[in-house]
Amino acid sequence: MKTINKILVCVTLALCFGAQVQAADGGNPKKGKHLYKKECKACHGVGDEGGEITPMSKTMSQWDRFFKRNKHKAKAEVFNALDEQELLDIQQFLYDHAADSDQPQTCG
């Protein structure tokens, strides 16, 4: 029984650690917050064209998926205008304060 528990702990840790490494690795959330206000809020405040979007609008994995697969399909030019590092920073900020994160945040 003890050995099985140890194995389970190892597997769980590996999964958590693996997931974290994959998530927005290398982004700077402080810069991301600033960029988010500058680049995203214009269209994503209350009553704006894109509808209100905050870090809490999605879960951590939904944000990762959005930045990896969707890439702001609704208006692709928004993401095209930002470089890789800027997008990574924004992704990190949104991820860190996602609905299921440790510090969910409603305002940008």
Task: Rule CB under 6 A: say whether 107 interacts with ligand HEC.
Answer: no
Measured from the CB atom, the residue of 2 and 69 that comes closer to ligand HEC is: 69
Sites for ligand HEC among residues 65-94 (CB under 6 A): 66, 72, 74-75, 78, 90
Measured from the CB atom, the residue of 20 and 80 that comes closer to ligand HEC is: 80
Rounded least distance, CB 21 to ligand HEC, Å: 22
At 24, give phi and psi (nearest 5°). 45, 45
Structure tokens at 77: 């030019």
* 25 close to 68: Cβ distance less than 8 angstroms: no
Burial 50-75 (b: 16+ CB within 10 A, else e): eeebbbbbbebebbbebbeeeebeee
Element (H, E) at 6: helix 2-22
Out of 31, 34, 37, 43, which residue is the one contacting ligand HEC (CB under 6 A)? 43
Contact residues: ligand HEC, CB under 6 A: 39-40, 42-44, 49-51, 53, 66, 72, 74-75, 78, 90
